[in-house]
Amino acid sequence: MPLNPSADNLFGLMHQQIMAALKGLQAAGQLPPELRFDGINTEPPREQAHGEVATNAAMVLAKPLGKAPRAVADLLLPTLQQIDGVAAVEVAGPGFINFRFHPAFWHGQLGKILNAGDRYGYLTPLQKGAQKEGKSEKINLEFVSVNPTGPMHVGHLRGAIFGDVLANLLIAAGNQVCREYYVNDAGNQVTVLARSSFLRYREALGEDIGAIPEGLYPGDYLKPVGEALVQQHGRALLTLPEDQMLAIVRPFAVAQMLTLIKADLASLGVVHDIFTSEAGLYEKGGIDKPYQVLEQADLIYRGTLPPPKSKKVSPDWVPGELVLMRSTRYGDDQDRPLKRSNGDWTYIAGDLPNTWQKIERGFDALIVPLGVDHAGYVARFEAAAAALSNGKVRLEAPLTALVKFLENGALKKMSKRGGTFITVAEVIEEVGRDSLRFMMLWRKHNMPMDFDLAAVREQSRENPVFYVQYAHARCCSVFRQAAEAMPQLAQPDLAAADLSLLTEDSVLALIRLLTQWPRLLMAAAVEREPHRIPYYLYEVAGALHALWNEGREETLLRFIQPTDPALTLARLVLVQGVRNVLAAGLAILGVVPVEELRS
RNA sequence: GCGCCCUUAGCUCAGUGGAUAGAGCAGCAGCCUUCUAAGCUGUUGGUCGGUGGUUCAAAUCCACCAGGGCGCACCA
C-alpha cells in the first residue's frame, strides 16, 4: 500500500505540496485536465546521495503524457523549486525528482521533535467523520484468549506480546483500540476442568486418587484449586449430585485459572480492557441473534459435505446432512457445519456470538492474531465476520509463527514429563520483561523465531535490546556529564537553543533519520507490522553511537564543548531528539527506557 | 491430494513497486592518555529458489514449478 498520509509527517506534507503544485499546473493549462495522479509517491530515498526527499511523479506521468520522464521533470521543476524550505531540486536516475532542504529547515524539524517530547510521531484519535477514510478506526483487538483450563505457557508468549504491542501501535497511529480477551468458559473442556478439579478436591481431603484418569487434566496446577475448594466448602461437595457439584466447581475453577493467567499477563506488562465471558454471552441469548442474521441473509442451509481430504481420514466419518453456513460466499473454500449430528453447536458456531457482540459494538475492524497452527481457520473467521456484518466489518487474523526456545544454541525441550518445561514466569525471570518483549518483536510475526535465552541475557552489541537501551542511556549520560562539566547547563533551556549552530553533515543526517519516525510508525500500523519499530530504533541507536565515536577522534565533534555553551546547548537538543524518538518507540514496545546501564 | 506461510551473503534475518539489494554474526584489518571501548571504523562475501507475465520500473504484484514448515473433523 502506498503510504502518503496527510500532513502527519514530512513526507506526507511534501506529498501534499507536490500534488498541489501538479494541480496548479493543471489549472494553468500546462498539464492536461484529464491527467490522473494515481501512483505518485513521496518517500525518503534509500541512499543519502539521492537527496533528502524523492518523488516518482515524473516517471509516473511520463507515459500518459507521452514524454520522457526527464522532460516531464523539467516541466515540473520551476514549480517544485518554490516549495517552502527547498534548497535544490534535481532530476536523477531514471527520472526521480530529488529534493534537498536548507539546514534551517532541518533545524525546524528538530525543533518539532523537541516540542513533541517522547510522544513524537503519535497521532491523537480524530473525531469520527472528521478524518480521511480509513485513517482513524475503531478497532477491536482480541488476543491471548488462552482457554481457562490451565495456565499460560511459552507458546502463548509471542501472540500475547505481538497483540499488546500492535494495540499500542494502532493507538499511537490515531486509532481507537479495545483490547479484548475472550474467555472460553462455556464448552465441554470447562466441564473436564471441573471434574479434574473435583478429583484434586478429593485428593486434598486425603483420598488416594491414584493416577489421573484418561480424559482429565493431569497438571499439578490443579492441586491448589482442590485445596481452595476444601477451604471454602469442607466436605460438602462430596455428597452433592454431580450437576450441583459442577455448577459450583466450574465457575470456581475457571476463576482460579484466570487468576493464574492474569498474573502471567501482568508480569509481561500485557493489559486487556475487557474480558468477555462466553458463558455470559450465552446467558444473553448466545447464538440466537447471529443465527437469525445469517438465516435472513440466506447463509444457512441443510446439506452434505464432501468427505475430509486429510490422509488420516477418520474411520468413523459418515456422510450426513448437517446445518451449514454458506461461508464460501465470503471467500471460504468450503461451507462450514454449524451443528453436529448430535445437535451440539460446532466450534465455529460457538464463536459466532463473540464475533456478533463485537460487530454490535460498532467496530470498523476486528483483529485476531492467531498462532500459525490455526491458519486453517482464518478463512472461516473472516467469512463469519463478513457474513454477520453484510460485508461491512473486516476481520483480520495475522499469524504468528512458532518460537523455538534455545539455551546457547541447544533446544529447550518443552516436555512436561522431562521436567525441562519452562513457564512464562521462568522466561521473564531469565531474561527480563523488557528484553523478552523487545526480542519477541525482533522478527516479522509470520517468520519462525529462535529465541536463545543466553543470547538475550548477553549485554553486548549482538543483543539489539541492549544496543538500543545503551543508546538511550548514553543520551541521558550526556545530560549528566554536561551538568557536571558546565554548571550553567544543569537545567538547560533547550527551547532557547540556537539550532543553526548544528552544521555537520553527520548531525544533519541524524536529524533526517529522526524525521522518518512518524512515517515509519504509520506504515507499521497500516501493515500491522510492529517489528519495524525495533529495527528502526536499532538504526537510530547505531547512528548515535557512530556520532559519539566521531567525538572520540575529533574533540570538536563532542556533544559537550566546555568553552562553547551555545554549541553545547544546540547539541543537547539533538541528543534530546534522539532520546525522544527512542523513548517514543520503546513506549510502543512496552519497554522501559533505562537512564543508566551500570549494573 | 488440498489450503496457508516461508525460500534474500557461510549463519540468523531486514527490505515501503523504484536508483548500485542491507544489518548483525562469522572471517580479515584497525581504534581505549575516553563526553561509559557494554562502543566505533574499514573490508571480504549475492544468478533475491526457478521459469514466465504485468509495469516506465519487480526481491516486492500475478501465474506455474521446485524445496521447507504448518494445517487439513461435526474435536477445541
Distance A1 CA to B53 C1' (A): 22
As beta bridge partners, residue A141 has A179, A367
Work out the pLDDT band at A576, boundaries 50, 70, 90: very high
**pLDDT of res. A124:** 79
**Residue A372: which nucleotide is closest by CA–C1'?**
B70
DSSP state of A501: G
Distance CA A31, CA A319 (A): 66
In A450-531, which residue ranges form alpha helices assigned H by DSSP?
453-457, 464-485, 505-515, 517-526
- Please write the tens of the pLDDT for every residue from A113-148: 999 999 999 987 654 443 444 468 899 999 999 999
CA contacts within 13 A on the Cβ side of A420: 10
Q: In Å, what is the separation between the CA of A104 and the C1' of B63?
A: 51
| Protein residue at shortest CA distance from C1' of B22 | A46
Q: Name the residue with the least CA to C1' distance from nucleotide B12.
A: A450
Pick A417 or A393 by higher pLDDT. Answer: A393
A310 pLDDT above the threshold of 80 = no
Beta bridge partners of A275: A181
Q: Is the pLDDT of residue A295 over 60?
A: yes
Confidence of residue A91 (pLDDT cuts 50, 70, 90): very high
Longest dimension (CA), chain A: 94
**Interatomic separation, CA of residue A238 and C1' of nucleotide B41, rounded (Å):** 75
Q: CA of A596 vs C1' of B34, distance in Å?
A: 18
Q: What residue has its CA nearest to the C1' of B20?
A: A47
Question: Which residue minimizes Cα–C1' distance to B6?
Answer: A447
Q: Using the Cα atoms of residue A561, residue A566, residue A570 and residue A575 in order, give the sign of their dihedral.
A: positive
**Across chain A, what does the average pLDDT equal?**
89
A107 touches A123 (CB < 8 A): no
Cβ atoms of residues A594 and A273 within 8 Å: no
The nucleotide closest to A43 (CA, C1' atoms): B16
Distance in angstroms (rounded) separating the CA atoms of residues A223 and A214: 17
Q: Which residue is nearest to nucleotide B34 (CA to C1')?
A: A552
Q: Which nucleotides of B are covered by protein (CB under 7 A)?
A: 1-6, 12-20, 22-25, 31, 34-41, 55-57, 69-76
Adjacency order of strands within the sheet including A86-92 = A42-43, A53-55, A96-101, A86-92
pTM of the model: 0.94
Q: Which nucleotide is nearest to A186 (CA to C1')?
A: B76
What is the reported pLDDT for A556?
A: 87
Instruction: Quote the CA–CA distance of A551 and A565 in Å, as a whole number.
Output: 17
Which residue's CA lies closest to nucleotide B56 at its C1' atom? A59
- Which DSSP symbol is given to A98? E
User: Distance between CA atoms of A401 and A396, rounded to whole angstroms?
Assistant: 16
Q: Cα A299 from chain centroid?
A: 33
Assembly ipTM: 0.93
Confidence of residue A19 (pLDDT cuts 50, 70, 90): very high
Instruction: Report pLDDT for A218.
Output: 87
Residue A444 CA distance to nucleotide B14 C1' (Å): 9
Per the structure, the residue whose CA is closest to nucleotide B2 at C1' is A309
* pLDDT-derived band at A366, boundaries 50, 70, 90: very high
Give A460 CA → B40 C1' in Å.
Answer: 13
Q: Which nucleotide is nearest to A49 (CA to C1')?
A: B19
- All three cell numbers of A245, joined, read 457439584
Give the span between the Cα atoms of A575 and A492, in whole angstroms.
Answer: 12
Q: Between the CA of A461 and the C1' of B39, what is the distance in angstroms?
A: 8
Candidate from A39-48, A125-134, A351-360, A377-386 with smallest mean pLDDT: A125-134
pLDDT per residue over A328-341, tens digit each? 888 888 888 998 88
Q: How far is the CA of A563 from the C1' of B34 (A)?
A: 19
Residue A152 makes CB contacts below 8 A (sequence gap 6+) with A144, A146, A160, A260, A261, A264, A265, A424
* Percentage of chain A modeled with pLDDT above 90: 62
pLDDT, one tens digit per residue, over A456-494 is 887 777 789 889 999 999 999 999 999 988 988 888 999
Please list the residues that pair with A410 across neighbouring strands.
Answer: A407
Nearest nucleotide to the CA of A399, by C1', is B5
Report the protein residue whose CA lies nearest the C1' of nucleotide B39.
A545
pLDDT score, position A274: 96
Sign of CA dihedral A230, A232, A236, A237: negative
Region A263-284 average pLDDT = 93
Which nt sits closest to A553, CA to C1'? Answer: B31
How does pLDDT run across A56-81, given as a tens digit for each residue?
999 999 999 999 999 999 999 999 99
Q: Give the pLDDT band of residue A597 (cuts 50, 70, 90).
A: confident
* Residue A152 pLDDT > 60: yes
Q: Enter the C-alpha cell of residue A597.
A: 546501564
Å from the A101 CA to the B21 C1' = 27
CA of A447 to C1' of B66 (A): 21
Q: Which three cell numbers stand for residue A374?
A: 490455526
The pLDDT-based confidence of A8 (bands split at 50, 70, 90) is: low
**Residue A194 to residue A561: CA distance in whole angstroms:** 70
CA distance A564 to A166: 44
Instruction: Give mean pLDDT, residues A488-514.
Output: 92
What residue has its CA nearest to the C1' of B1?
A309
Q: How far is the CA of A148 from the C1' of B73 (A)?
A: 23
Angle at A19 between CA A17 and CA A21, to 5 degrees: 70
CA–C1' A371–B27 (A): 38
Q: Are the C-beta atoms of A577 and A113 separated by less than 8 Å? A: yes
